[in-house]
């Protein structure tokens, strides 16, 4: 009788508690939304940028609403990263099954199979978590909860603003600015496809040092767009043949001695000044020819802490 009772009552309850506990553990970090990191900006007297600093070393630019993003950039990202994005609830069982099959054959985690929601969860809430089957399941549970509480448009907007794109670039606006010296709104189809292709492996497809790999990945994205009817085959062929000017990333500090003295001087009263979220306007003349002679004590600062 005791065994029968345990089999019919205790075991299901225990299993339910384990599932509930796992779901709570998975979702808990996402309940308090993590704000996107903001840089601390040091400006010259005329408002021009001298230096950006953040705790993670990443570069930030002003966010761009999804409605102002080039439609083909959005479509390219979806085609490259999650082609069934608009029809699944945050979890794609077909992609997950294929990824699990590949992982089992390799006896390690070799393929993500992650939806855009799952990638967003990892980027925002589990950035340093190990790549294990348990962690993938945790991110999947968090992605399902996110999908239930956020629209596809809101998910894409957040994803495009925070996705890592190599070097110190987080978000499509920052990547467009530094790789192509363009506002993200002005990206061409070839440029959009190249950035979308970088997401899967930024270090491998970074176009400055690995242009041939970046072009191959760009061609993959363009072929997917054509297969899904987002562009024509002729447009894909033309985009592949279009030469793109890519600029090396340049994050040099203007007036480094002056900027560091400013930050050092403010650190006593604002200990987290370098962690991001402040804007410091100095009296420095950006056209001054003798940087070292600029007086570091001539500073007017105003802080704007992001919340």
Is residue 166 helix, strand or coil? coil
Token pair 């799952």 is found at: 118
* Terminal Cα distance for the chain, rounded: 59
DSSP-derived pairing of the beta strands 40-43 and 279-281: parallel
Token pair 């994050």 is found at: 251
What is the mean predicted confidence (pLDDT) over 65-73?
A: 96
Of 161, 176, 237, 241, the closest CA to residue 207 belongs to 176
pLDDT digits (tens, 9 = 90+) for 134-189: 888 899 999 999 999 999 999 999 999 989 887 667 899 989 998 999 999 999 99
Burial class (CB in 10 A: 0-12, 13-18, 19+), 287: exposed
Per-position DSSP letters for 67-127, written without gaps between them = GGS-HHHHHHHHHHH-TTTTTSSS--HHHHHHHHHHHHHHTS-------HHHHHHHHHH-T
Largest CA distance in the chain: 92
C-alpha torsion 91→93→98→102, nearest 10:
60
Residue 8: predicted pLDDT: 64
C-alpha torsion 233→85→164→129, nearest 10:
-140
Residue 229: predicted pLDDT: 95
Q: Which residues contact 129 (CB under 8 A, 6 or more apart)?
A: 122, 135, 138, 139
pLDDT digits (tens, 9 = 90+) for 253-279: 677 778 878 877 886 677 556 545 678
Assess whether pLDDT exceeds 90 at residue 220: yes
Residue 293: predicted pLDDT: 40
Is domain 66-241 given the CATH code 2.60.40.3470 in the classification?
Answer: no
Residue 85: predicted pLDDT: 95
Assess whether pLDDT exceeds 90 at residue 199: yes
What is the mean predicted confidence (pLDDT) over 87-109?
A: 74
Residue 108: predicted pLDDT: 56
Percent of the chain with pLDDT over 90: 38
Is residue 172 helix, strand or coil? helix
Calculate the average pLDDT of the chain. 79
Residue 299 pairs in a beta bridge with 282
Residue 99: predicted pLDDT: 67
Angle at which helices 189-198 and 211-227 pack, to 10 degrees? 110
Is residue 238 helix, strand or coil? helix
Residue 3: predicted pLDDT: 65
CA 85 vs CA 33, 80, 151, 264: distances in Å:
22, 11, 11, 47
Token representation of residue 240: 């592949």
Assess whether pLDDT exceeds 60 at residue 38: no
Assess whether pLDDT exceeds 50 at residue 305: no
* pTM of this structure: 0.69
Residue 300: predicted pLDDT: 38
CA 148 vs CA 90, 201, 292: distances in Å:
8, 28, 56
Domain with CATH 1.10.3810.10 in the chain: 66-241
How are strands ordered across the β-sheet holding 279-281?
49-53, 40-43, 279-281
Give CA–CA dist 138/280, Å, rounded: 40
Residue 61: predicted pLDDT: 62
**Reported confidence tier of residue 304, pLDDT bands at 50, 70, 90:** very low
Q: H or E element: which one contains 197?
A: helix 189-198
Residue 282 pairs in a beta bridge with 299
Higher pLDDT, 56 or 266: 266
Higher pLDDT, 107 or 166: 166
**Reported confidence tier of residue 30, pLDDT bands at 50, 70, 90:** confident
Residue 277: predicted pLDDT: 61
Assess whether pLDDT exceeds 80 at residue 9: no
Residue 186: predicted pLDDT: 96
């Amino acid at each position: 009788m005791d065994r029968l009772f345990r089999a019919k009552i205790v075991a299901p309850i225990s299993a339910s508690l384990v599932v509930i506990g796992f779901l709570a553990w998975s979702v808990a970090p996402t309940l308090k939304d993590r704000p996107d990191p903001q840089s601390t900006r040091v400006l010259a007297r005329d408002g021009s940028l001298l230096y950006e600093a953040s705790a993670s070393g990443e570069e930030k630019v002003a966010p761009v609403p999804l409605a102002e993003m080039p439609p083909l950039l959005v479509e390219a990202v979806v085609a490259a990263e999650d082609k069934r994005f608009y029809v699944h609830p945050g979890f794609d069982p077909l992609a997950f099954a294929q990824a699990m099959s590949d992982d089992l054959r390799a006896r390690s985690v070799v393929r993500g199979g992650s939806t855009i929601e799952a990638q967003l969860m990892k980027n925002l809430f589990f950035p340093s978590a190990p790549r294990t089957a348990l962690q993938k399941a945790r991110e999947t549970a968090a992605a399902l909860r996110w999908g239930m509480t956020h629209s596809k448009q809101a998910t894409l907007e957040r994803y495009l603003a925070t996705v890592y794109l190599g070097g110190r670039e987080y978000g499509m606006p920052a990547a467009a600015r530094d790789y192509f010296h363009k506002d993200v709104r002005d990206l061409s189809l070839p440029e959009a496809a190249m950035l979308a292709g970088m997401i899967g492996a930024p270090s491998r497809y970074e176009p400055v040092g690995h242009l041939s790999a970046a072009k191959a990945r760009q061609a993959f994205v363009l072929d997917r767009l054509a297969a899904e009817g987002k562009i024509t085959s002729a447009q894909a062929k033309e985009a592949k043949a279009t030469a793109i000017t890519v600029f090396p990333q340049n994050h040099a500090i203007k007036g480094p001695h002056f900027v560091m003295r400013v930050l050092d001087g403010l650190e006593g009263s604002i200990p987290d000044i370098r962690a991001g979220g402040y804007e410091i306007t100095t009296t420095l003349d950006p056209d001054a020819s003798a940087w070292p002679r600029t007086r570091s004590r001539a500073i007017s600062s105003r802080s704007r802490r992001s919340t």
